[in-house]
Amino acid sequence: MVKHSILSVINFLNLKVPIQVYFVFLEKADLGELRDKIGTNIFLFRIDCFQQVLILIALYLLILHKGRLEKMETELTHEEILRYSRHFPIPEVGLIGQRNLKKSAVLIVGTGGLGSPVALYLAAAGVGKIGIVDFDKVETSNLQRQIIHSSSTIGLSKVLSAKKRMLDLNPDIQVIAYDEPFTSENALRIASEYDVLVDGTDNFPARYLINDVCVILRIPNVYGSIFRFDGQVSTFYAKEGPCYRCLFPEPPPPGLVPSCADAGVLGILPGTIGTIQATETIKLLLGIGSNLVGRLLLYNALDLSFEYINLKKNPNCRICGPNPTINQLIDYEEFCGFPRQVELHSSVDNDSLLTPEDLFKKLTGNKKILLIDIREPFELEISSIKGALHIPYGQLSQRLNELGGEQEIILFCKTGIRSRRALEMLRGAGIRNVKHLDGGINSWAKRIDPNLPIY
């Protein structure tokens, strides 16, 4: 009788009981059956008959109290039941799954092309707490692919723009905006509050940082990357499979892999990849389906093809291997070969950086200079500076013979990033009389020639 009463309570409430030891009056043959119902990590002991009723009442009250607390935390409101009603007929989701989503927490690093669809779909799905990290502001050039932002939020902080849109889509969730860079100093503090981290970044220092944070905190890292027509998605979870460092132990040399700004990206591509990342995140939170742990998904938009590559843990991985050498977060800019900001200011700003006004004076004066446009051919169709010699950045090292003489060399690109790298390369080749245009041709268009388009 006692056994059936206790089992009825447990079955009716369908709850995990937060008690590690139970004292019940049962025959030895019944103990195993009760343990199977409650959990294999539960210890059961037989007690004397006169304590039977008190223990049964206490057990019932404890289970009931636990159930009420859980239901209060994750109970769906009438509005939420209507909002998520299309989830309920799905056996893998249902009411229980929706409550699990409501009590889940996901951190999205980056609110750009990938972060936009991830944030929107996780908000729409009812993930209860979503953190978003970014420190950029919305620009017009973002709107071709970063669908969470709009023309009305140009100039606004990206995280505030994204938060506004997410809460407009679903006011019942909690959105926490971190308007700051994701760095070694703050990453663990921020990420420790979340169950899953989604990588929406576009640079290698951030990817290695995110990986190491997830390994240390033992949470999944839902990774995505895009390039022109190609995309990749995987879930790096060192607890169950390989991490990002298992696949890429070392970063590529700086400048070898162009950014989206340099190489371009099909505007709809991050929508496809980001939606897959959001799908993977929902599956992880619900514990359903087959995830991408140990698999890398490759997508090509031109062929509309999907391929998978099986991944294995690297036994020599520096952070998730059996003998890790990385036990804390490091300087990821230095690890990836990126010069520090202090070094940039001391080596470039003082003697090698040219303002648009300074360049205008040189061009209109009598001093002979060699102005070199290192942008790609398609960029010349958008804007140009009269008199510039065109040598694409990728060809510069093979055309050093064209840079001889005593004349001053001035490099420019779109925004000044590629020209700085080109300047460092030329100096490494022994060419010292070289400067580059601060802010690139876009800065020239803003301050000198407003007839040129900014892109």
Catalytic residues: 260, 413
For residue 397, the tally of other CB atoms under 10 A from its CB is 12
For residue 99, what are the CA distances in angstroms to 58, 74, 76, 77, 436?
27, 5, 7, 11, 56
Residue 147, token pair as written in the block: 């669908």
Sign of CA dihedral 215, 218, 219, 222: positive
**What's phi and psi for 298, nearest 5 deg?**
-115, 130
Three-state SS for 322? coil
Query: Measured between alpha carbons, how far is 40 from 33 in angstroms, rounded to an integer?
Result: 10
Long-range contacts of 393-396 (CB under 8 A, 24+ apart): 393/418, 393/421, 393/422, 396/422, 396/425, 396/426
DSSP label at residue 157: B
Query: Measured between alpha carbons, how far is 289 from 108 in angstroms, rounded to an integer?
Result: 22
Q: End-to-end distance of the chain based on CA atoms, in angstroms? A: 78
Residue 205, token pair as written in the block: 């220092």
